[in-house]
Amino acid sequence: MYPINDRQYLKICAEIAKLMSISLSSAKKKVEIQIAKEGSKTIQEKIQVAQNVLKICEKNDGDKLSSSRILDKLMETLDGEDNFLTED
């Protein structure tokens, strides 16, 4: 599959990458796989597939914590244990 250089398509893929905390190329690859599954041919069909993937990502982002939010939560200290250090 040849690369799609449509501005709107790339913008949607960038939003997917941001929501999933992945690279743009990984997001484009996810969308391209979905495009291949659905057999989309025109650029408008491909943009529609990308928008569908974005909607799914937005729904999933609201349902669960992203990897950066999980890391932030893990890095928080418990009350009263700010200076506690465990040694091996």
Say what the pTM is.
0.66
Number of domains in the chain: 1
27 belongs to a structural domain: yes
pLDDT band at 71 (very low <50, low <70, confident <90, very high): low
Q: Is residue 1 part of a domain?
A: no
pLDDT at 21 over 90: no
The DSSP-derived string for 45-64 is: HHHHHHHHHHHHHHHHHHHS
Rounded Cα gap, residues 73 and 75, in angstroms? 5
The answer as to whether 88 is a domain residue is: no
For residue 84, being part of any structural domain is answered with no
Q: In terms of residue numbers, what domain contains 52?
A: 7-74
Q: Is residue 87 part of a domain?
A: no
